[in-house]
Amino acid sequence: MSNEFYRLRVNGVDHEIRDAWTGESLLYVLRERLGLPGTKGACEQGECGSCTVIMDGEAVCSCLVMAATAVDADIVTVEGLANDGEPTDVQQSFVNAGGVQCGFCTPGLIVAVHHLLDRNPTPTDLEVKEAISGNICRCTGYGRIFEAVRQVRDARAADAS
**Interface contacts to other proteins, rule CB under 8 A:** 1-3, 21-23, 25, 44-47, 49, 52, 58-61, 63-66, 68-72, 112, 119-120, 123-124, 126-127, 130-131, 133-136
User: In this complex, which beta carbon is closest to other proteins, that of residue 21 or of residue 84?
Assistant: 21
**Nearer of residues 92 and 150 to other proteins, judged by Cβ:** 150
User: Residue 60 or residue 78: which is nearer to other proteins going by CB?
Assistant: 60
Torsion angle of the four alpha carbons 85, 89, 92, 97, in this order, in degrees rounded to the nearest 10: -170
The residues, ordered by sequence, that sit 6+ positions from 154 with a Cβ below 8 Å of its Cβ are: none
Q: How far is the CB of 7 from other proteins (least distance, A)?
A: 11
Q: How far apart are CA 1 and CA 83, in angstroms?
A: 37
Closest approach of Cβ 69 to other proteins, in Å?
4
Our CB check for other proteins shows the closer of 98 and 119 to be: 119
Q: How far is the CB of 102 from other proteins (least distance, A)?
A: 20
What CA–CA distance (Å, rounded) separates 60 from 102? Answer: 22
Q: Which amino acid is at 54?
A: I
Are residues 113 and 121 in contact, defined by beta-carbon separation less than 8 angstroms? no
- Compute the least distance from the CB of residue 79 to other proteins, in Å: 18
Neighbours of 150 (CB within 10 A): 15
